[in-house]
Amino acid sequence: MKRRDILISSVAAALATGARAQNNAPVRILVGATAGGSTDTIARTLAASMGPLLGRTVIVENRPGAGGNIAADAVAKAAPDGNTLLMSYTSHAINATLYPTLPFDPVKDFTALTCVATSPSILVANPSVPANDVRELIALVKSRPGQYNFAIGGIGSSLHMAGEAFKMQSGTYIVNIPYRGTSPAVQDVLAGQVQLMFAAVGNVQAHIKAGKLKALGVTSAKRLPEFPNVPTIAEVLPGYESSAWFGLFGPAHMSADLTRRIADAARQAIAQPEMRKRLDNEGAIPVGNTPEQFSAFVQSEITRWGKVVKYSGAKPE
């Protein structure tokens, strides 16, 4: 064999070896939230189901901070080889307006893969509040502006913005009381230190059933099967809807074939009974839409929440 042919064969072999190594590398899903929360739990369940479908190991890495921006920035700067993905949530859209500057573009620097699930919330009140539904609550707080409070688990969170959207559409003035986390916020509403709160269904379901909290309205477009007698807020404020969402992204410039392959694996994982059961336990509703549908959804969410953020005057912590 001529020396030139030997060199060509050697280069080809090296490239093939490199491609196999890349294909066998673990897929990392970065999560911009702490371990144990809904985003982390959903990401880990998805990773366990996606691994066999891709024929690769899929691991989850937590990189909390800055409302998910630290993890998002790492993925935005990663190679578009499918080895580094992002499990993000509603704040990905909210942060586009909440933060004056971001080190990435929330649309252009990512490849939208699929929305994994949505999670409606519920407006709850301490039993001492003399209102039994949204209509009565609006009348009550309008008669006593600034005398009622919302507990919020984090500035700029989807639940914070659910409350701001409620105030914006109802024309009410309710004071925000920020907490570092959902748990202490719920505890103070239970104790009557704060009267009102938008909360994820899973965080307050047991308290509602025990009569320790009153459910006034749900944020979804339709009534929830778990609470068929609790009206939607939209029944009083037409067009009101607010659901947290969890979505899978990759870096920008992923090839169409790679995008489709990972998105299809994620959607197949979401359809599995174990995954759907875990989502149900988290009070989440499975979605599994196409990359095109998810991309359009994210852009619409940025526009929608941008208006609410500007109305609220919220600033990042």
Confidence of residue 23 (pLDDT cuts 50, 70, 90): low
Q: Which domains, and CATH codes, for the chain?
A: 3-119+244-312 (3.40.190.150), 120-235 (3.40.190.10)
Nearest alpha-carbon partner for 171 in 199, 212, 143: 143
Enter the pTM of the model: 0.85
Summarize pLDDT for 205-221 with one digit per residue, the tens: 999 999 999 999 999 99
Summarize pLDDT for 224-275 with one digit per residue, the tens: 988 999 999 999 999 999 999 999 999 999 999 999 999 999 999 999 999 9
